[in-house]
Structure 1
Amino acid sequence: MIDPDDDIGAEQGEGAESQDFQAELEAERIAEALVFASAQPVSEAFIADRIAKHFNVHTIMLRLKEQYAPRGVNLVQVDDAWAFRTAADLSFVIRRDENETKKLSRAALEVLAIIAYHQPVTRAEIEDIRGVQTSRGTLDVLMEAGWVRFRGRRRTPGRPVTLGTTRDFLDHFGLEELRDLPGIEELKGAGLLSGRIPANFNIPSPSMNDELTEDEDPITQMDLEELGLLAPGGASED
Structure 2
Amino acid sequence: MAKAPRPAAPVPSEAARLAEALIFTAAAPVTEADLAARLGPGTDVPAVLAEIAHAYAARGITLTRAAGGYAFRTAPDLGPALRGTAPEPRKLSRAALETLAIVAYHQPVTRAEIEEIRGVTTSKGSLDLLLETGWVRLRGRRRTPGRPVTYGTTPAFLDQFGLDAVSDLPGLDELKGLGLIEGRLPAGFRVPQPGGGAEADEDPLDPEDRGAQE
Normalized against structure 2, the TM-score is what?
0.86
Q: Is the 8 A contact 2:140 2:202 kept in 1?
A: yes
Q: Is residue 121 from structure 1 mapped to residue 109 from structure 2 by the alignment? A: yes
- The alpha carbon displacement at 1:101 in A equals 2.9
Partner of 2:5: none
Partner of 2:14: 26
Q: Is residue 132 from structure 1 mapped to residue 132 from structure 2 by the alignment? A: no
Q: Is residue 172 from structure 1 mapped to residue 160 from structure 2 by the alignment? A: yes
Q: Is residue 96 from structure 1 mapped to residue 96 from structure 2 by the alignment? A: no
Question: 1:59 and 1:122, CA in 2 relative to 1: closer, same or farther beyond 3 A?
Answer: farther
Deviations 1:41-75 (A, max 9, x none): 22222211111211232443244334423321011
Partner of 2:151: 163
Q: Is the 8 A contact 2:141 2:205 kept in 1?
A: yes
The letter of the residue matching 1:219 is L
The letter of the residue matching 1:96 is T
SS in structure 1 of the partner of residue 39 of structure 2: coil
Higher helix share: 1
Deviations 1:17-48 (A, max 9, x none): xxxxx9x9222221111001223222222211
Question: 1:213 and 1:58, CA in 2 relative to 1: closer, same or farther beyond 3 A?
Answer: farther
Q: Is residue 224 from structure 1 mapped to residue 210 from structure 2 by the alignment? A: yes
Gaps of 5+ in 2: 1-10
Instruction: Report the more deviating stretch, 164-173 or 214-223.
Output: 214-223
Distance, in Å, in 1 between the alignment partners of 2:112 and 2:45 is 41
> For this pair of structures, how many residues does the alignment match?
203
SS in structure 2 of the partner of residue 49 of structure 1: helix
- The alpha carbon displacement at 1:84 in A equals 0.5
Normalized against structure 1, the TM-score is what?
0.78
Moved over 6 A (4+): none
Q: Is residue 200 from structure 1 mapped to residue 212 from structure 2 by the alignment? A: no
Instruction: Report the more deviating stretch, 48-57 or 142-151.
Output: 48-57
Considering only CA atoms, is the larger Rg found in Structure 1 or Structure 2? 1
Structure ranking higher on relative contact order (CA contacts 8 Å, 6+ apart): 2
Partner of 1:105: 93
Gaps of 5+ in 1: 1-21, 229-238
Question: What is the aligned counterpart of 1:213 among 196, 199, 203?
Answer: 199
Deviations 1:138-194 (A, max 9, x none): 011111111000011111111111111011111111111112111112111222111
- The alpha carbon displacement at 1:126 in A equals 0.9
Q: Is the 8 A contact 1:27 1:52 kept in 2?
A: no
Distance, in Å, in 2 between the alignment partners of 1:63 and 1:206 is 33
Question: 1:149 and 1:180, CA in 2 relative to 1: closer, same or farther beyond 3 A?
Answer: same
Q: Is the 8 A contact 2:149 2:213 kept in 1?
A: no
